[in-house]
Amino acid sequence: MTPAGKGGVPVWDLPIRLFHWLLVADLAGLWWTAAHDNLALHFKLGYAALALLLFRLFWGVMGSDQARFARFLKGPAAVLSHLRHMASPGPLPPQRGHNALGGWAVVVLLLVLLAQVGTGLFAVDDDGMEEGPLAHRVGASAAKLARRLHHANFSLIQIVVAVHVAAVLFYLVVKRENLVRPMVTGWKRLTFLPGEGEAGVGHGWVPLWRAGLLAAVAAGLVAGLVVFA
Ligand code: HEM
Ligand code: HEM
């Protein structure tokens, strides 16, 4: 059976979906632990965030078709054309994977999150009792600066995530396109006929063992950083 024959086309493989929803849960935990001054757990969740982000970078190069940066990062002409489609009434052209604007939104999300982890690793807390594993490698003033940047960047993260969720709602309400279901089930309802259009090219998902291997490498790198910091 072609993918379209199942009533949809496969879009997000399991590793991307796990990455996404684990990241959302992890961020909630990071916010909660910071707000309740549980820095021991905050650090652990921070390491998990770093492992997730490293995995996503690997998957963007060696992962499934739709996950690859080279596939969804397009030039300004494609972004402008997508913006024009967004501004005009009616549904968007069928899209399997990130659209030209969403692709760059992924880059922004990954960068602000990496910046948060990066500053956290060097930050010292306000009373100087707790510090990230790399804080001892820089002077006290640099660690304090890292802390200030960690605070400021979290405000930026809140704005970027709010825009992200607002964009998903915009597609749902205005464009009548449900992006959330594919991020949960992996499949998207598109009107391609079997054997036609993009649906005919197969799902492009690579075997799960590769994701397992890359996740283990990401976790190993983070463990190495913590142990040898
Ligand atoms: C802490 C909050 C969140 C963060 C950091 C976040 C981050 C991300 C990232 C990095 C991606 C890109 C996926 C990839 O290619 O790896 C993404 C995609 C997506 N996210 Fe989120 N997300 C958050 C919350 C949410 C929520 C609450 C929803 C549901 C309402 C949501 C729905 C989606 C959807 C539908 C996509 C796929 C968009 C598309 O089809 O191009 N996200 N998100
Ligand atoms: C994406 C990952 C992360 C997020 C979203 C995050 C978020 C936060 C937030 C919201 C705060 C409180 C800021 C405030 O009081 O205004 C905080 C504090 C802190 N974070 Fe993170 N964090 C992350 C990763 C890390 C990592 C990896 C480390 C170090 C291993 C770290 C170390 C710290 C430290 C030391 C503080 C204490 C600052 C203080 O007491 O003022 N964070 N973090």
Task: Convert the pLDDT of each residue in 54-97 to its tens digit.
Answer: 999 999 999 999 999 999 999 999 999 999 999 998 888 888 89
- The answer to whether 66 and 16 have CB atoms below 8 angstroms apart is yes
| Atom nearest to 24 CA in ligand 1 | 1
In this predicted structure, what is the pLDDT of residue 92? 85
Q: Which of 207, 204, 202 is nearest to 3 (CA)?
A: 202
In this predicted structure, what is the pLDDT of residue 7? 54
Structure tokens at 49: 């965030």
**Ligand 2 in contact with 218 (CB < 6 A)?**
no
Residue 64 CB coordination number (10 Å): 23
Residue nearest to atom 8 of ligand 1 (CA): 20
Q: What percent of the chain has pLDDT over 90?
A: 82
Q: Hey, where are the domains in the chain?
A: 7-185
> Which residue ranges have their beta carbon within 6 Å of ligand 1?
16, 19-20, 23-24, 27, 56, 67, 98, 102, 106, 109-110, 161, 164-165, 168, 179-180, 183
Confidence of residue 8 (pLDDT cuts 50, 70, 90): confident
By most ligand atoms within 8 Å of CB, the mutation choice from 24, 41, 42 for ligand 2 is 42
| Helix residue ranges, H only, the chain | 14-35, 39-62, 69-72, 76-87, 100-122, 140-173, 180-185, 208-228
pTM (2 decimals)?
Answer: 0.93
Q: Tell me which residue has tokens 């998207």.
A: 188
By most ligand atoms within 8 Å of CB, the mutation choice from 19, 23, 26, 30 for ligand 2 is 30
Q: What percent of the chain has pLDDT over 70?
A: 91
Q: 39 C-alpha vs ligand 2 centroid, how far in Å?
A: 8
In this predicted structure, what is the pLDDT of residue 96? 84
Confidence of residue 2 (pLDDT cuts 50, 70, 90): very low
Write the DSSP assignment of 76-128 as a string of letters.
HHHHHHHHHHHHSSSPPPP-SS--HHHHHHHHHHHHHHHHHHHHHHH-B-TTS
Helix 100-122 / helix 140-173 crossing angle, nearest 10 deg: 160
User: The domain 7-185 belongs to what CATH superfamily?
Assistant: Transmembrane di-heme cytochromes, Chain C (1.20.950.20)
Q: Which ligand is nearest to the CA of 92?
A: 1
d(C-alpha 218, C-alpha 64), whole Å? 17
Q: Which ligand is nearest to the CA of 143?
A: 2
Q: What's the per-residue H, E or C state across 73-88?
A: CCCHHHHHHHHHHHHC
Predicted confidence (pLDDT) per residue in 112-139, tens digit: 999 999 999 999 998 889 999 999 999 9
Q: Is the pLDDT of residue 45 over 90?
A: yes
